[in-house]
Structure 1
């Protein structure tokens, strides 16, 4: 075939010199390589060649049904992608062993998307006509009564759009030049066949290996005869050329140059253009593309749930943060990842099963796990070990599930040894480190960190969704019909991304932020004000419920009796017992040291007792012991769950006395994370007052002395306690905390009595039974 350029009979030398296929441009060749790309643009802009080798559009594309497909290929249970009406599976040719991608298109969904049979036939014929190293190969086609199957070349690097977003600002110009050479070669071949693609963008190029691009998705491709123009408006808007956008008033139509315009936009995107990072995520017009996924899932979820569209800056921010989050970690393909799990009985809580990583990832082991999770009233309670708060909330749901006769399984997404968990562990490590620095240094550092903790905006939600989608492999192995209660949005969004049908998100905190939401789940809140504010933020009412506080069953059931015992102890002027709970981030060492010094005279005179739970923070426990020695105070130590349970029996509130030879200080320290946070739940039932930062513990049915918060978002939890009357204001300095302590230890203290009476009233109104409500939703009782 003779090649024709615009207005000239000679064939242009499109890809010669440094940008030729035989030579990859290096840094020293960059100017020549970019110049070569420019020449390619100019040479192809008007390119229109005769139609010569395209097969007939009316030719039957089917070579056999599903039986024939299975005869030639072994289709693996690995989903590579999910489209608007189709799924892509990984498969192997039984004879050659070549890995392929099987694109399965559901016939029933096609009419809903405005796609007809001849559209599929056109796409197939276009791909058959094009055999080129930078165009995805079509090996076979199959058809049965329900689906059409395309056996395509398997590209292990995913799509180019994801690669651009993943690499972000580290993309080199010489790499961009090489990618553009490949794009232009693919388009040169396409146009030489008289085919106009009409949907060129990074997301429609697949990546083979590290750097080879393969043009794919011919759903909008059409034959364009020489001199012809196209007049139907289609494509991805942000990649469409001006002549497409200006139709029909200011433009007669368009031709091959629109593909080159889109290639130029793609080049700008690959070179870090902020506008084009936005463009990669823009949807095509409804029904145009055969397999157009539209906006990325995180962006789509956010927009559909709270009605907020992402701007260019928003998308750039999320992409940059995702790149920073995964920097230094090996690349993972989320669709192919699946962590294996097994259920083992908890050594601490009877009836509770722990989900632990299994060394076996066989169909048999997955079947065993599925059978274990199919029992009646089963629920997975998913949490993340970020401090103690999320695990404590999970514990409250677990206890209520057991109380209601259910079979709960605890999932900690940080427990497996995998890349996904390592990424989240690194995030938690940085959070804990910054929390300790801000709390101990105070001043401007505390102010900056506090402000950062208030940035749970729509971008934080998009980032949470993007992260959940990338690490979804942690939960991919579980049966999707098992109800899931989640205590962190990472877990909830991961469950939704995996396709779980029944997800219940327990929203922690009392500060309304988009970050805490899980689109696609039932979001439960603890306070009426929170419910009202989330509605104002655009959260749909059908996805919200006011449940109550996240409190364990034992504390709820005994809240009234324990409060009456506390009042009676006060009337008998027994020493007031204070439980000091150190937060999971271990960020209160400086404040704690000052508080112990201020309490020392009262402890020596045995006017008060303190139970000090240092958790599993060895540095905190060592510092406390050293401080007690300096203050010349005696103390007891408890280091196990068994020891905690024994102490709670001997020192129960309703005994109305102190044990013989009691010491003013009892220090709790543990090696186990679970035993560490559970200790506070147990010891609350023998304490008069809980001394805590206004975290998840601010919602518990016990009189509370709130001390200095770690993050600014926690201040709103103290506000909720004041609304109910069961907790103090936040005392950010030690003198203020001691002033409030003095009010609580007065003989027959009015403040102490008021707090207990408010607890009794709230308990009778079931304010503290939020976790029970969550379990009832999980079991279908609500």
Structure 2
């Protein structure tokens, strides 16, 4: 540790980490130093430019870090940091979930009159920070895919790791040590601009890097020490998770731990984009009207960043194909930036390509389709693929407004205000997203296999009660502020700055 720095791996909210686990955390950091070096002595310039993909839609500016990245931004494109209205959204690409939550924060910040800065710690290739994150991201993506192909691997390793492994305080200690290697990317970022981390690593790195006002937006509904960033204010989407985090429930077996201080944890509600929240009533009204008038029911299938679960989606598409041909259903399929997944689906499912319209790598085409689908009739199957990560993720957000049912695993999309059909999870922690959604009435139970998914599809198609109930619940949930989490997180970040000046 550098002199004067707090060793955040030594204790967590007053709970001392054992010498054995602390040594393990030190070894984890040392391993990454041997592999990628330690650039804490390097000079990493930070430059600002308008985001070329979601800059217009969400008012987002990029923060680019490193000598190479600075050279890529011409002088005429550079902007100054807005130290009064600026708020940084610190994130990483690890799957699509953290990017989507980041977009919700940026959308809310823009709607509230602030300037959102996008800082992806996994996008500065010359830095040790990005190298460390990329290595762990690659490992996680590989595990996600393997868990879908091997039931034995999933049962014996992946589920326990995602459910109990990440829950342990000792895991957080290792992350805190590794995050010390990520701190240098904040070297030239103004320390008085509030930051919202939509993954724990940006929040931890920001604290180590001297950022003064840090909010750590916790994504999951299952309390895990993985998500702790002491020194920040943690935000939570559900009351159940608030209680679990407050007492650090089960994070060291049956031991009763010292709780998190009250000012370190805040319930906000779900992190959702302004564009979706502000149109909830109208979008639900149109869903019910389509059902009443016998229009095709719009299903949206979205494949996550790990590219897993293709087999489940293939079973869904095969079931819906006859109804699509009959004009009873319409289907959106967003494969994100995984073109190979769509190619595999079309090669495996006879007739799929013949009745599909491919909206590929044309953002203008995607935007036009999404806008037209809000009021116009939609038929057939529409496939979406975008090479750019921003477009790949935000495509689902655009399509969500005109879909009747979103078919997804119970991850970050569990918290979105649209009727949802949940397929089998990837990782045990995700199941609590489906449980919460079913309890507040805007999504189904988690369907563990294709036959149960088909059963739920039949209910949506043939019984109006399920869709009607979810739409009414979504409107009621909005009235209670359940979907206001992104607004509240942004307000909290800016309030920290005001209160601590």
TM-score if structure 1 supplies the norm length?
0.58
Distance 1:491 1:438 in 2: 27
Q: Quote the residue 1:104 is aligned against.
A: none
Q: Which of the pair has more CA radius of gyration?
A: 1
Paired residues for 1:97-246 under 5 Å: none
What SS does structure 2 have at the residue aligned with 1:745? helix
Whether 1:491 aligns to 2:202 is: yes
Q: Distance in 1 between matches of 2:96 and 2:278?
A: 22
Contact 2:191–2:211 (CA under 8 A) maintained in structure 1: yes
Whole-angstrom CA distance in 2 between matches of 1:592 and 1:361: 38
2:373 matches 1:665? no
- Which residue among 755, 768, 772 is the counterpart of 2:470? 755
Give a deviation string over 1:553-572, Cα, whole Å, max 9, x none.
00010112211211121111
The aligned residue for residue 61 of structure 1 is none
Offset, 1:714: 0.5
In 2: Cα distance, 1:319 partner to 1:684 partner: 44
| Aligned equivalent of 2:268 | 547
1:406 aligned to 2:102?
no
Q: Is the 8 A contact 2:48 2:78 kept in 1?
A: no
**What secondary structure does 1:374 align onto?**
coil
- Distance of 2:485 and 2:94 partners within structure 1: 21
Does residue 475 in structure 1 map to residue 186 in structure 2? yes
Q: Identify which of structures 1 and 2 has the higher relative contact order when contacts are C-alpha pairs closer than 8 Å and 6+ apart.
A: 2
Mapped to 2, the partners of 1:685 and 1:631 lie a distance apart of 24
Once residues 678 and 360 of structure 1 are traced to their aligned partners in structure 2, the CA distance between those partners, rounded to angstroms, is 27
Superimposed CA distance per residue, residues 282-338 of structure 1 (whole angstroms, 9 cap, x where no aligned partner): xxxxxxxxxxx7xx71224x33x2x32112331233234334445533x3153x134
Which residue number corresponds to residue 133 of structure 2? 424
Task: Determine if contact 2:272/2:484 at 8 Å carries over to the other structure.
Answer: yes
Task: Look up the match of 1:299.
Answer: 9
Output the CA distance in 2 between the equivalents of 1:492 and 1:539: 17
Matched, 1:372 2:80: yes
- 1:738-757 Cα offsets, whole Å, 9 max, x none, are 1001111115x111111111
1:765 maps to 2:459: no
Q: Secondary structure at 2:454's aligned position in 1?
A: helix
Equivalent residue for 1:310? 17
**Cα 1:687/1:472, change in 2 over 3 Å:** same
TM-superposed deviation, 1:369: 12
Counterpart of 1:381 in structure 2 is 89
CA contact (8 A) 2:220 2:411 kept: yes
- Tell which deviates more after alignment, 481-490 or 410-419: 410-419
Q: Which moved more, 1:669-678 or 1:623-632?
A: 623-632
Deviations 1:579-602 (A, max 9, x none): 001011111122222222233322
SS at 1:530 equivalent: helix
Q: Cα distance 1:596–1:441, how it changes in 2: closer, same or farther (>3 A)?
A: farther
1:611 aligns with 2:332: yes
- 2: CA distance, partners of 1:524 / 1:328: 34
Alpha carbons of structure 1 residues 368 and 463: separation in structure 2 relative to 1, 3 Å: farther
The 8 Å contact of residues 9 and 174 in structure 2, kept in 1 or not, is answered as: no
Tell me how far apart the structure 1 counterparts of residues 155 and 297 of structure 2 sit (CA, whole Å). Answer: 32
Change (3 A) 1:405 1:540: same
Kindly indicate whether the alpha-carbon contact (under 8 Å) linking 1:380 and 1:483 is maintained by their aligned counterparts in 2.
yes
Q: How does the TM-score come out when normalised to structure 2?
A: 0.90
- 1:774 paired residue among 486, 489, 494: 489
Q: Of residues 297, 302, 326 in structure 2, which corresponds to 1:576?
A: 297
Match for residue 256 of structure 2? Answer: none
TM-fit CA distance, 1:614: 0.2
Question: Which of 413, 419, 438 is equivalent to 2:147?
Answer: 438
Question: In the alignment, what sits opposite 1:57?
Answer: none
Q: How does 1:432-471 map to 2 (within 5 A)?
A: 432-454=141-163, 455-456=165-166, 457-471=168-182
Deviations along 1:64-94, whole A, 9 cap, x unmatched?
xxxxxxxxxxxxxxxx9433xxxxxxxxxxx
Using the alignment, how far apart are the partners of 2:155 and 2:29 within structure 1? 25
Partner Cα distance (1:370, 1:542) in 2: 37
**Residues of 1 paired with 2:336 and 2:78: CA distance?**
34
CA contact (8 A) 1:719 1:729 kept: yes
2: CA distance, partners of 1:460 / 1:492:
16
Report Cα offsets for 1:400-452 as digits up to 9, x if no partner.
11111111110111111223211211110111011001112234434421111
Q: Conserved in 1, the CA contact under 8 Å of 2:88 and 2:194?
A: yes
Which SS does the other structure have where 1:411 is aligned?
strand
Report 1:276-355 matches (<5 A). Answer: 297-300=7-10, 302-303=11-12, 305=13, 307-329=14-36, 331-334=37-40, 336-349=41-54, 350=56, 351-355=59-63
Taking the aligned partners of 1:608 and 1:447, their CA distance within structure 2 comes to 39
Aligned match of 1:513: 224
C-alpha distance 474-629 of structure 1, shift in aligned 2 (>3 A): farther
The Cα shift of 1:354 comes to 1.2
Cα separation, 1, equivalents of 2:487 and 2:43: 31
Q: Distance in 1 between matches of 2:285 and 2:156?
A: 40
1: distance between equivalents of 2:35 and 2:448?
38
The partner residue of 1:650 within 372, 388, 399 is 372
Query: Retained in 2: the 8 A contact 1:628–1:634?
Result: no
1:427 and 1:488 map into 2 onto residues whose CA distance is 13
Report whether the alignment pairs 1:395 with 2:103: yes
Asked if 1:526 is matched to 2:237, the reply is yes
For 2:339 and 2:124, how far apart are their aligned partners in 1? 23
Q: Do the aligned partners of 1:370 and 1:479 also contact (CA within 8 Å) in 2?
A: no
1:524 partner SS:
strand
Q: Indicate if the aligned counterparts of 2:303 and 2:309 stay in contact, CA closer than 8 A.
A: yes
Name the structure 2 match of 1:131.
Answer: none
C-alpha contact (below 8 Å) 1:440/1:591 kept by paired residues: no
- 3-state DSSP class of the match of 1:299? coil
Contact residue 381 and residue 397 of structure 1 kept, 8 A: yes
| Deviation for aligned residue 1:618 | 2.3
Q: Deviations over 1:214-270 (max 9, x none)?
A: xxxxxxxxxxxxxxxxxxxxxxxxxxxxxxxxxxxxxxxxxxxxxxxxxxxxxxxxx
Deviation at 1:729, TM superposition (A): 0.6
**Aligned equivalents of 1:327, 1:358: Cα separation in 2:** 21
> Residue 3 of structure 2 corresponds to which residue in structure 1?
82
Tell me, in whole angstroms, the C-alpha distance in 2 between the residues paired with 1:577 and 1:669. 18
Q: Which moved more, 1:706-715 or 1:317-326?
A: 317-326
User: Are the counterparts in 2 of residues 604 and 633 from structure 1 also a CA contact under 8 Å?
Assistant: no
Instruction: State the 1:632 CA deviation.
Output: 6.5
Please give the alpha-carbon distance, in whole angstroms, between the structure 1 residues aligned to 2:372 and 2:291.
19
Q: Is the 8 A contact 1:338 1:474 kept in 2?
A: no
